[in-house]
Amino acid sequence: MELTSVTKEIHAASQRLSKSADALFGLGRAKAEAERDYRLALSQEILKLRTEGMQATLIPDIAKGNVHEKLFQRDFTEAQFKAGIEAADAIKIQVSALQTILKYQSDI
């Protein structure tokens, strides 16, 4: 690998890392919003079931089942956020490896 090639790859990877930071911000916001929506729907469902006189021990499971779409959306956005973090970490590792290559080539 030539020095210019390695330098170009480091630059491209650092640009991807910068874009991933912006994407992580959006994913983090979506995750927080999904958590908020789920908790709000769950609390409303619990209150509804209590006013209907459902047995107290059954309420948590029934309420979660009734708001399953919000629960799914919450879990899905959390998985997306974690995947985004892992992708950013992979780019960091790539940059580190390229920097190591660049150092060895410049020492030669």
39-67: per-residue pLDDT in tens? 999 999 999 999 999 999 999 999 999 99
- Whether 62 and 49 have beta carbons less than 8 Å apart is answered as yes
- Whether 10 and 99 have beta carbons less than 8 Å apart is answered as yes
Q: What was the pLDDT predicted at 101?
A: 86
- Whether 67 and 41 have beta carbons less than 8 Å apart is answered as yes
Task: Give, for 23, the enclosing helix (H) or strand (E).
Answer: helix 3-51
How many domains does one find in the chain?
A: 1
Query: Is residue 67 packed enough to be buried (19+ CB in 10 Å), middle (13-18) or exposed (0-12)?
Result: buried
Q: What was the pLDDT predicted at 98?
A: 87
Residues of the chain scoring pLDDT < 70: 1, 108
Structural domain including 35 reads 3-107
User: Is the whole model's pTM more than 0.85, yes or no?
Assistant: no
Q: What was the pLDDT predicted at 106?
A: 75
What Rg, from alpha-carbon coordinates, does the chain have? 23
